[in-house]
Copies of this chain bind each other. A is one copy, B any other.
Amino acid sequence: MERIAEAEYVVMEVLWEEAPLTAAEVSERVPRERGWSLATVKTMLSRLLAKGALSHEEEGRRYLYRPAIRREDYVAEESGRLIDRMFGGRVTPLVAHLASADRLSVEDIEEIEALLKALKS
């Protein structure tokens, strides 16, 4: 599975949210603050097709695009990559880090505790 660049990821998000879509529809749904032209979106779509991250079917003389990889798989790969690089592949140090970096509120902690408890049973 080829690497998806950050700008490309924006397009993937759109299509994971709703698919299939035409290029124009994707363009409409790209977050406004990106300020992308339709042309840019089309470039992203082609590159993602080439990378095998999207598939397309013809609808008249347009394409309908849809994801060819699952969001979970992509997220798993990316977060795994980060954990491997920064935390030697271990998850506990990541959580410890998040905690000490104040990314964890008391509510977070309680949610996670509940989650873990559920996991054990």
Interface segment among A17-25, A39-47, A102-110: the answer is A102-110
Q: CA of A75 to CA of B103 in the docked complex: distance in angstroms?
A: 13
Other-chain contact of A115, B9, B72, B96, B119 (Cβ < 8 Å): B96
Complex A-B: 17 CB contacts under 8 Å: A9-B85, A75-B97, A79-B97, A80-B101, A83-B103, A90-B108, A92-B108, A92-B111, A92-B115, A95-B116, A96-B115, A99-B115, A99-B116, A106-B120, A109-B119, A109-B120, A112-B112
A residues at B contact (CB < 8 Å): 6, 9, 72, 75-76, 78-80, 82-83, 85-86, 90-92, 94-99, 101, 103-104, 106, 108-109, 111-113, 115-116, 119-120
